[in-house]
Amino acid sequence: MNSPSESTHGSEGKKAQIRAIRFAHPGNLMARYFSEDYFNSLDESKRARMWQIIKTGIENPDSQMGAYAQSSGDYEDFEPLLEPMIRDYHNIPRDQEIEQKHDWSATTSNCNLEDIDPVLNGVSMRVRVGRNLAAFPLPGAMTKAHRLEFEVLMIKAFTALQGDSQFGGTYFSLTPGSSHVIDADAYQRRVAAHQMFKDMGGDPYLVSAGISSDWPFGRGMYVSSSEDFIVWVGEEDHLRIMSMRQGGDLAALFGRLHDGLEKFAKLIPPFAHSSRYGYVTSCPTNLGTAMRASLHLPLPKLTEGGSHLERATKAALDFGLSVRGAGGEHSDAGQGGLVDISPRARLGVTETEIMQCLYKGTAALWSLEKTS
Ligand code: ARG
């Protein structure tokens, strides 16, 4: 236990750090919206919870968001801090209600990248959603026992899914001693194939938030025999459920995810969900649909052969898209200027709108590339 003087000193030190970050890193949304008056108005226990939420943004001043929720109630309990950050990131003006609706209807529509250009027929496409169970703390606050208990619960569901004609597959665990465990080589091959997540200890933002703690216990992935339906267990959210394919048919990709998601959800306890923030996620950037839909597009001209992402990033912003390197978050463009593009908005938009944004944005960026 800290003595009162020590904890006061600790708080004062952190407040000073946040003031310095606000000045040096104006992009850090936690530092931008942290209010000392609000903090001072909280009782001891809420102060301690708040430090846990924003520790990542203090220890990593270059954070864009700078906070990870630790329990699904945090978004309501710390609304005065988190809501302005959420509005800023998701571009929701103050006078507009935050409200999340879901709509997957476009998954039955015609939405094929080949209609933009026939060469876009073997594009690497991926769509994922984050989900957390209401019954467990969010990953940052899970104990090792929680992580193991959670994995056991998921293995039961995967075992039930195994015999399914469309989604049958295999679960691979990273938990030492698990009867489903895979060895280091097999794990690395799955990482190289972009099916499995990397060692979370390499992500300082997750480390600070406690999300990578107890690695690799309670971590694993389920993959369908068709290899296009994947569920991650124990990454940034309890579950990341995704569909991956090479091709051009976005509607089919989204449809595949939706079907698998519906089937899987019936086998497990309910997800944490709020009418305002939609599916509750660790990171405020993922709230709402918790969906990230992306594809790899070669933009050699816009990226000057892959050496600079700035121009593509700027152009993509006009179409509501984010650009990152093809190697994942914080990576550079790949060979031939291959970049990963995805609709930036996740909250206050529907799943259908995200798919349409990706389609229209791809068309616009592609035509810009061609005329550059
Ligand atoms: N916490 C990091 C930041 O604030 C990453 C945010 C978005 N990425 C993510 N994987 N949630 O910059």
Q: Is 87 a catalytic residue?
A: no
**9: confidence class by pLDDT, cuts 50, 70, 90:** low
CA pair distance 133, 268, nearest whole angstrom: 9
The packing angle between helices 144-161 and 250-265, to 10°, is 110
Please check whether residue 99 lies inside any domain of the structure: no
Q: Is 128 a catalytic residue?
A: yes
Query: Ligand 1 center to residue 342 CA distance, Å?
Result: 15
The strand pairing partners of 293, in sequence order, are 127
Please check whether residue 61 lies inside any domain of the structure: yes
Query: Ligand 1 center to residue 285 CA distance, Å?
Result: 7
**CATH (domain of 66):** 1.10.135.10
Q: Which of 5-14, 93-102, 217-226 has the lowest mean pLDDT?
A: 5-14
Q: What is the mean pLDDT of residues 65-88?
A: 97
Q: What is the mean pLDDT of the chain?
A: 94
CA pair distance 353, 345, nearest whole angstrom: 10
CA pair distance 327, 67, nearest whole angstrom: 24
Quick one: pLDDT at residue 306?
A: 79
CA pair distance 342, 149, nearest whole angstrom: 34
**Count of structural domains within the chain:** 1
Residues of the chain above pLDDT 90, percent = 90
**Range of the structural domain that residue 25 is part of:** 12-90
CA pair distance 295, 18, nearest whole angstrom: 36
Which residue CA neighbors atom 7 of ligand 1 most closely? 285
Give the position of tokens 């950037």.
285
Whether the predicted pLDDT of 41 surpasses 90: yes
User: Which atom of ligand 1 is nearest the CA belonging to 62?
Assistant: 12
Please check whether residue 44 lies inside any domain of the structure: yes
Please check whether residue 241 lies inside any domain of the structure: no
CA pair distance 181, 141, nearest whole angstrom: 24
User: Which atom of ligand 1 is nearest the CA belonging to 283?
Assistant: 11
Beta-carbon count within 10 A of 243 CB: 25
Quick one: pLDDT at residue 150?
A: 98
pTM of the model: 0.94
CA pair distance 196, 252, nearest whole angstrom: 22
Whether the predicted pLDDT of 335 surpasses 90: no
C-alpha closest to that of 125 among 291, 254, 315, 303 = 254
Residues of the chain above pLDDT 70, percent = 98
Q: Is 351 a catalytic residue?
A: no
Q: Which two tokens stand for residue 352?
A: 């259908």
> How would DSSP label each residue in 278-315?
EE--SSGGG-BT-EEEEEEEE-TTTTTTTT--HHHHHH
Query: Ligand 1 center to residue 69 CA distance, Å?
Result: 12
Q: Is 344 a catalytic residue?
A: no
Give the H or E element holding residue 246.
Answer: strand 239-247
Q: Which of 235, 236, 351, 369 is catalytic?
A: 236
Ligand 1 pocket test, pick from 285, 294, 330 with the greatest ligand atom count within 8 Å of Cβ, gives 285
Please check whether residue 123 lies inside any domain of the structure: no
Please check whether residue 62 lies inside any domain of the structure: yes
pLDDT tens track for 307-316 = 888 999 999 9
The strand pairing partners of 247, in sequence order, are 123
Query: Ligand 1 center to residue 352 CA distance, Å?
Result: 24
How far is Cα of residue 97 from the mean position of the Cα atoms in its chain?
23
Whether the predicted pLDDT of 55 surpasses 80: yes
Ligand 1 pocket test, pick from 128, 206, 281, 283 with the greatest ligand atom count within 8 Å of Cβ, gives 283
Residue 171 phi, psi (nearest 5):
-105, 130
**CA angle (316, 317, 322) in 5-degree steps:** 75
Whole-angstrom distance between the N-terminal and C-terminal Cα of the chain? 62
Please check whether residue 55 lies inside any domain of the structure: yes
Please check whether residue 1 lies inside any domain of the structure: no
Q: Is 235 a catalytic residue?
A: no
User: Which atom of ligand 1 is nearest the CA belonging to 205?
Assistant: 1
Quick one: pLDDT at residue 16?
A: 97
119 against 5, higher pLDDT = 119
Query: Ligand 1 center to residue 230 CA distance, Å?
Result: 22
User: Which atom of ligand 1 is nearest the CA belonging to 206?
Assistant: 1
Pocket of ligand 1 (CB under 6 A): 56, 63-66, 205, 236, 283, 285, 329
Quick one: pLDDT at residue 1?
A: 43
